Each structure stands twice: as C-alpha cells, then as structure tokens.
Amino acid sequence: MNERVQVGIIGLGTMGQGHIKTLLNDVPNCEVVAVCDTDEKRFKEAEGKGLLSEKMQRFSSYGKLIDSDLCKAVVVVTPHPFHPEISIYAFRKGLHVLSDKPIAITVSAADEMIREWKKTSLKFSTMYSMRTTSVNIAIKDFLLQGKLGDIRRVDMVCTKWLRTQRYYDEQTWRGTWKGEGAGLLLNQAPHNLDLLYWWFGPAEAVSAEVSKRFHNIETEDEVTANIRTRSGFPIRFYSTTGEAPGFDRVEIVGSKGTLIRDGRMAKVFTFLELEEEIEKTIYENENTMLDVAF
C-alpha cells in the first residue's frame, strides 16, 4: 500500500506521545497531521520532546479534530472512559479508529461501540501489543500445531507491572473508580488476559479475589484468579502493580510436554516417548529439554 494515512492523535499524554514516536519512526505509510488534548501543558511537553512539528494541527476538542477533515484515522489515547464516546463520534464521521486498551470501562459501553462500528466498513482495532511479540506469536503457533498435546493446566504470573505511588498521583484519574473504572484489571492486566484469550479461547467460569494492598488508591492493585476455559482446563492467574522485581511467566502443561516462558524466552520440555506411552512412562524416563529459538 503506497497511500499515506493521515492520522490524528487524541490524548497527548504518556501513551499518546508514545504512539506519535512509533508512527514517526516505524510506520512510513502514516503521517500524524493533527493532535488533540484538553490540557494545554501536554502540547508543550510533547513539543519539548521534539514530537510535534509545524505541520501538525493542534486541537483542544476531539470533535473539532474529527470534524476538521484532516484525518482518515484517529488513535484514541485518552483515559479509558472517553474511548467509546470519541470512537463512536469518529465512526459516525467516517474515520478509522485505533482505540487504546481497554476500549471501554463497561461491557455495555464496549457493546455500543462495536455496534456503531459494525454499521460502517471502517477499520477498528485496539492495542494488544503483546500479540505482536515474537515469543507470544511462536507460542500461539506451537499451540495451534498441537505440539504440547491436550492442555492440562496453565499458570500465569504477571508482576512486571510495577507502578509507584507517583504514577497514580501524577494523573488523578488513575486508580479511581470514576476515572478508570478499575485499576490493574482494566489498565495493565488486560494485556495478559488478552494473551490467555488469544492462546486458549474464552473462559467458561472465573472466580477471583481482588485487593488493594500496595498503593494509596481507590481501586485494586492485585488480582488472583482461577479461570476455567471452555476446553475444561484450569488457568491460575496472578498479577499486581506492587511487586519488584517483577516477572512475566507462563507455564503451559500439556499431555506431550510443558512450555515455560519467562519474559521473552521460552523453553519447551517434551517427553521422548510416543503420546500413548506418556502416561505410563512419565515418571520412569528422563525428559528432554528443547530450547526453542524465537
């Protein structure tokens, strides 16, 4: 595709600035032509980092940016409660939308957004960037090829999300029910939960305990969940923003072997025996360790 896509960024905070950097450096078919934020300071901040050029029109209201006809697509990077309202407005005006995660803070708002998008032939996506990490893609392929056999259980521990009190204090919407609808479970953990969904499909049942243990915030900063997949095997899930050093580990145990991923590295432990012999030989034979190159 040689055509360039004119993009507007709505929300010029931490992640909005990150999106500009990515679009400027890594996506040659896109050009950022407009930026919007309700806070004047954010323009100065982004300017100070060399992210804004003369060519980028600045707006203090998303409606004006969308109505300007400058953009074919918008990236919505405001706090989550605004994602549906802004995206729906963009769809109705014929703009493609990339809404950062989570797309909404309630299921009904997300449903409405999807309903509005389905009335169009526009592109709509959200940012689950962990799906683009090579190790996670390789695990997906590995699972699709059935190399671990039938999945017996999964254990995921995601504690690499350390957030300091300052992180919550510097943006008053963070860690509040009104401002973001939840804490860890809507802001950081969706990335990991999305991987579980992508790899193993929908959940049949979930029981979970959430708590606020590490920060002075309203919402949860820790979750322990037991997820039963539709295929019937259990997933144990733990995540927090209060632990350091953090880990990003997953253990996938199947009838033919076990895959362990630690950050960007994965190792697969398989058994030498044929599948039907595994049950009787599992404790008798030495297993083989394969390093999988990702």
40 binds ligand NAD (CB under 6 A): no
| Closest CB to ligand NAD among residues 69, 169 | 169
- State how far the Cα of 232 lies from the Cα of 252, in Å rounded to an integer: 14
Exposure class string for 101-122: b at 16+ Cβ within 10 A, else e: bbbbbeeebbebbeebbeeeeb
> Which stretch, 6-14, 47-55, 195-203, 257-265, contacts ligand NAD (CB under 6 A)?
6-14
If one counts every other C-beta atom within 10 angstroms of the C-beta of residue 71, the result is 24
- Of 72, 96, 101, 160, the one binding ligand NAD (CB under 6 A) is 101
Q: Closest CB to ligand NAD among 78 and 229?
A: 78
From 8, 11, 175, 183, residue interacting with ligand NAD (rule: CB under 6 A): 11
State the minimum distance, in angstroms, from the CB of residue 81 to ligand NAD: 9
H or E segment and range at residue 179: helix 177-180
Query: What x-and-dash track marks residues 188-227 binding ligand NAD by CB under 6 A?
Result: ----------------------------------------
Phi first, then psi: give them for residue 227, nearest 5 degrees. -115, 130
Region of 5-13, 209-217, 241-249, 286-294 interacting with ligand NAD (CB under 6 A): 5-13
43 touching ligand NAD, by CB under 6 A: no
Per CB under 6 A, contacts with ligand NAD among 55-94 are 62, 77-80, 82
Instruction: Name which of 62 and 199 has its Cβ closer to ligand NAD.
Output: 62
- The distance from CA 232 to its chain's CA centroid, rounded to whole angstroms, is 25
> Judged by CB under 6 A, which of 29, 39, 106, 285 binds ligand NAD?
39
Residues 26 and 248: their CA atoms lie apart, in Å, by 26
Cα 115 to Cα 98: distance, rounded to the nearest angstrom: 16
Nearest residue to ligand NAD, scored by beta-carbon proximity: 13
129 part of the interface to ligand NAD, by CB under 6 A: yes
Residue partners of 188: CB distance under 8 A and separation at least 6: 158, 161, 163, 239, 241
β strands within 188-256, DSSP E: 203-211, 222-229, 234-240, 248-254
CB-nearer residue toward ligand NAD: 6 or 171: 171
- Which residues are 203's β-sheet partners? 229
Could you tell me if 61 and 34 are in contact, meaning their C-beta atoms sit under 8 angstroms apart? no
Using the rule CB under 6 A, which residue among 159, 187, 192, 239 binds ligand NAD?
187
User: Counting contacts by CB under 6 A, is residue 46 touching ligand NAD?
Assistant: no
Among positions 7, 8, 9, 10, the unique one binding ligand NAD when judged by CB under 6 A? 10
Query: Does residue 14 belong to the site contacting ligand NAD (CB under 6 A)?
Result: yes
CB 221 within 8 A of CB 215: yes
Q: Which tokens is 220 given? A: 């949860």
| 214 vs 240: CA distance, rounded Å | 9
Minimum CB distance to ligand NAD, residue 12 (Å): 5
- Is-contact 160 247, C-beta < 8 A? yes
The residues of the shown chain that bind ligand NAD, judged by CB under 6 A, are: 10-16, 36-39, 42, 62, 77-80, 82, 100-101, 127, 129, 171, 187
